[in-house]
Copies of this chain bind each other. A is one copy, B any other.
Amino acid sequence: MQVIADLCLIPIGVGVSVSREIAECERVLAEAGLRTKLHAYGTNIEGEWDLVFAAIKRCHEVVHAMGAPRISSSLRFGTRIDRAQTMDDKIRSVEEKLGAQSQ
């Protein structure tokens, strides 16, 4: 089962800056061979369900190992069985509708 997910991980108890931990998660996700795209409030992730969720677990493990006593994540994830759809497909689908509106 393919999944498109969006992860926002927040280390708690490490101070105000969390970019070092987020960067480490980017590295974990990339090493897992997943397609990802960082944005200003999370990271899009695309791949096979088990690989995606194993990598997310690894993110929590790694951020704890960096010293964060507590982590709270928010995740969106979507699956569909009617047809295949990539992250790029989703964006293109909206942009096509926007193009049609502006004509």
Task: For residue A100, give the distance in angstroms from its CB to the closest CB of chain B.
Answer: 8
Known A-B contacts A78-B72, A79-B70; the reply to A94 vs B38 at CB < 8 A is yes
Residues of B within 8 A of A32 (CB): none
Measured in the bound complex, the distance between the Cα atoms of B90 and A40 in whole Å is 6
Measured in the bound complex, the distance between the Cα atoms of B5 and A37 in whole Å is 17
**A binding-site residues for B, Cβ under 8 Å:** 1, 4-6, 8, 10, 12-13, 15-20, 22-24, 26-27, 37-42, 44, 46, 49, 53, 57, 60-61, 64, 69-82, 87-88, 90-91, 93-98, 101
Show 10 residue pairs from A and B whose CB-CB distance is below 8 angstroms, ordered by the A residue. Answer: A6-B42, A10-B12, A17-B93, A19-B97, A23-B94, A23-B101, A27-B98, A38-B94, A64-B81, A72-B78
